[in-house]
Amino acid sequence: MSVAYEPIRHYREALAQGLKGSSGYSYPWLEKQRQVAASRFLHQSFPTRKDEDWRYSGIDRVLVHPFLPAGENVSTLTEEDLRHDVLYQLDAYHLVLINGIPVPALSRLDGLPAGVHIMGMREAMVQFPDLLAARLGKTGQDETQMFMLLNRALFDDGCLVYIEADCVIDKPIVLNHLTTGLPDNYMFLPRNLVVLGAGANAALIERFGSTGPSTCFNIVLTEISLEHGAVLDHYRIQEESRHTFHMSRVSLQQAARSRYEGTSITLGSAWSRTEFNARFDEQDAVCLTNGIYVVDDGQLMDFHVDIEHAVPSCVSRERFKGILLGKGRAVFDGHVKVLQDAQQTDAHLSNTNLLLEPGAEVDIKPQLEIYADDVKCSHGTSIAQLEPEQLFYLQSRGLDIKQAKQMLCLGFVSEVLETCKAQVVMEYVGSLLQREFLKLFSDG
Amino acid sequence: MLSIKGLKIAVENKIILHDLDLEVGAGEVHAIMGPNGSGKSTLAHVLAGRDGYDVTEGDIIYDGKNLLEMNVEQRARKGIFLAMQYPVELPGVSTLSFLKASVNAMRSSIGEQELDAVAFMKLIRSKAKLVGMDEDILKRPINTGFSGGEKKRNEIFQMALLEPRLAILDETDSGLDIDALRVVADGVNSLRADDRGMILITHYQRLLKYIEPDFVHVLAGGRIVKSGDKTLAQELENRGYSWLEAESAA
């Protein structure tokens, strides 16, 4: 007799199975972290619509799939297969991860400057055990989020980017996360750690893509730690196939005078959720996060931003722009918390959306939670449609409706696009968006 | 070139234009004058194909074809150009990308090869010079943060670039100071050509001091109540519109 599929039971079993597998490295601190996460997972349930944080996220769409952790990599992807990948051709340091596992044969890490370390997480466990013991799992709050617990309990690989104090890297770093070549219903659980020592400076591009149509689930946890005066430009480009499910968390911790500038581009996946959490540990740090999302019929894109100002004189800015088509759905939840001691905080949150069709929906929840009295905090959100007058102007100059829409949509997101400091990234994302709009509008 | 016969236009069941007849031949410049609310801009919009107007009666034949069956971009590609009264701002939309898309849309519609970046910039420079337009403006998003004069000049610049067969200038003179007016007028005059028709829509006679029309029509109450040569414009300047409105009501 067959037993009806029940998500929580399936995932509990998957966790138990996964814990038995050997990861080839082991440290007491790590095993403890895994156990804590596993035990929490086993005692909790998946969130439902009744949980405020998941109210609009439609998590059932994910849970109906009986995803299982993938084992060793079986990919046969070659450099030749990546020949047309514009991003892969960038003059940069490339670490390619297939299904969450670094592939040295595809990576290009020769000639790294002294003090710059980029490698797979397994290798890092051998080369930098002390650094990992001190940093891994140390950013952010106590973990209770079910998918992140799965990652924390089961992660097997991922990558480390470690830039020592005062080192400046001459080229951008590309972490190219590709999913490919497996049958349906596997999940990947890469774990990434980025540490910039005092005064270090780097540009990091995290890219999520897929080369095949298999249904899979990417659960990615990236922790970033910026020490005194470190500067990181961080680009995240999610362009996975429409068969992919994507859950990622960026957990950022900033020391004094550090500066983080993040740009998040989300186009892909059937369902995706990104949680961006930042915490200022010391004064005079700056955190700027910008994002563009384009959500088509059948897609759901969920973005949760959580910024905590615990100390005085820090600056945070979030600016997200979304374009929705068909019955596409987006969720934007921006939460800025300013604690009592965080005087002279300067925080601004903005989210604007363009709904191109009547069936599209966006749920926006800006929240400012302020306990200090000498602060500058604001938020603004909006939902609009394309102006008929603007379309008419473009059409009266000979552009057809598709071109006109494409141009207006590019114009709408340009404000965010122009904040990309790396010219190569701006160009890549610009052409990516152009192609995406062309594809989306060519159906009518 | 353009033949309008018995045109009747309604907006939300209110009739704006009644039985309008107008013939514009190649090489001719027609001025359409009239008081506010007489339907001048409606006529301009209907010619360009803007939504929201019901053509309840009449025909518009352009180059032997039924204009009313063409959509906005088809009309543009057939050489109809509307210089707008209030050019809309398009924040974030690159002026150069827009102009390139526009020029190339026109070219491909007549089977000409699209211009490459070098040829396009060469064309842009020559036309900018022709209408005295500051090239810096091309680096800004379309019309965004432009002064009134800059917006109008940008319209004339686009007209020079697209070389239309029939240009309709909707109150291009409104909101311009005398210097800007002269620049715009010079641009328009330089574009007068034997194979190009022009319709100047204006409330005031002052534009016609700089651009001499071949014909002047007065639109009042949704009808052309009087047509004549350029001397009619002077008469309107002296006597206003009320005598014509009274005449037509009688």
Measured between alpha carbons, how far is B5 from B7 in angstroms, rounded to an integer?
Answer: 5
Q: Which pLDDT score, from 0 to 100, does residue A229 have?
A: 98
The answer to whether position A273 is within a domain reads: yes
The answer to whether position A412 is within a domain reads: yes
Q: How far is B57 from chain A (nearest CA, A)?
A: 24
Q: Does A407 touch chain B (CB under 8 A)?
A: yes
- Answer with the one of A282, A303, A321 that is the final residue of a domain: A282
Q: Tokens for B220?
A: 């009042």
Concatenating the DSSP letter of every residue in B120-156 gives HHHHHHHHHHHTT--GGGGGSBTTTT--HHHHHHHHH
Report the residue of A391, A393, A431 to disrupt the B interface, i.e. the one with the largest count of B CBs within 10 Å. A393
Q: Residue-wise over A350-386: b if at least 16 C-beta within 10 A, else e? A: bbbbbbbeeebbbebbbebebebeebebebebeeeeb
Type of residue numbered A388: P
Q: Tokens for A428?
A: 């890549």
Q: Contact at 8 Å (CB) between A175 and A206?
A: yes
Q: Which of A388, A408, A413 minimises the CB distance to B90?
A: A408
* B76·A396 Cβ contact <8 A: yes
The closest of B247, B250, B221 to B17, measured between CA atoms, is: B221
The closest of A381, B159, B164 to B172, measured between CA atoms, is: B159
Q: Contact at 8 Å (CB) between A341 and A334?
A: no
Concatenating the DSSP letter of every residue in B157-170 gives HHHHHH--SEEEEE
Q: How many domains does chain A have?
A: 2
The answer to whether position A67 is within a domain reads: yes
Q: Contact at 8 Å (CB) between A128 and A160?
A: yes
The answer to whether position A362 is within a domain reads: no
Using one digit for the tens of pLDDT, what is the confidence trace for B32-50? 998 888 889 999 999 999 9
Domain co-membership, A54 together with A202:
yes
Q: How many residues does chain B have?
A: 250
Q: Does B162 touch chain A (CB under 8 A)?
A: yes
Q: Which pLDDT score, from 0 to 100, does residue A433 have?
A: 94
Domain boundaries, position A434: 386-444
Using one digit for the tens of pLDDT, what is the confidence trace for A50-78? 999 999 998 999 999 999 998 776 677 88
Q: Contact at 8 Å (CB) between A45 and A19?
A: no
Q: Which pLDDT score, from 0 to 100, does residue B35 have?
A: 85
The answer to whether position A322 is within a domain reads: no
Domain co-membership, A393 together with A262:
no
Q: Tokens for A171?
A: 């080229």
- Answer with the one of A264, A282, A300 that is the final residue of a domain: A282
Report the residue of A387, A397, A400, A426 to disrupt the B interface, i.e. the one with the largest count of B CBs within 10 Å. A397
* A412·B101 Cβ contact <8 A: no
Q: Does B174 touch chain A (CB under 8 A)?
A: no
Where does A143-189 show beta strands of DSSP type E?
158-163, 173-179, 186-188
* B72·A392 Cβ contact <8 A: yes
Domain co-membership, A274 together with A395:
no
Q: Which residues pair with B120 in a beta bridge?
A: none
* B88·A390 Cβ contact <8 A: yes
pLDDT averaged per 10 residues in sequence order, chain A, 444 residues: 84 91 82 95 94 91 93 77 90 95 94 96 96 93 93 95 95 94 90 98 96 91 98 97 96 97 96 96 96 96 96 97 96 96 96 95 96 96 95 96 94 93 91 90 68
> Which CATH number fits the domain B2-249, given the four candidates 3.40.50.1980, 1.25.40.10, 3.30.1330.10, 3.40.50.300?
3.40.50.300
- A-B CB pairs within 8 A amount to 78
Mean pLDDT of B191-202: 94
DSSP category for residue A349: E
Q: How far is CA B1 from CA A167, B75, B95, in A?
A: 71, 13, 31
Residues of A in contact with B97 (CB under 8 A): 407
Type of residue numbered A198: A
Q: Which pLDDT score, from 0 to 100, does residue A443 have?
A: 59
Helix (H) or strand (E) holding B35: none
Residues of B in contact with A401 (CB under 8 A): 73
- Answer with the one of A262, A282, A302 that is the final residue of a domain: A282
Give the CB-side neighbour count of residue A287, counting CA atoms within 13 A. 32
ipTM value, please give it.
0.95
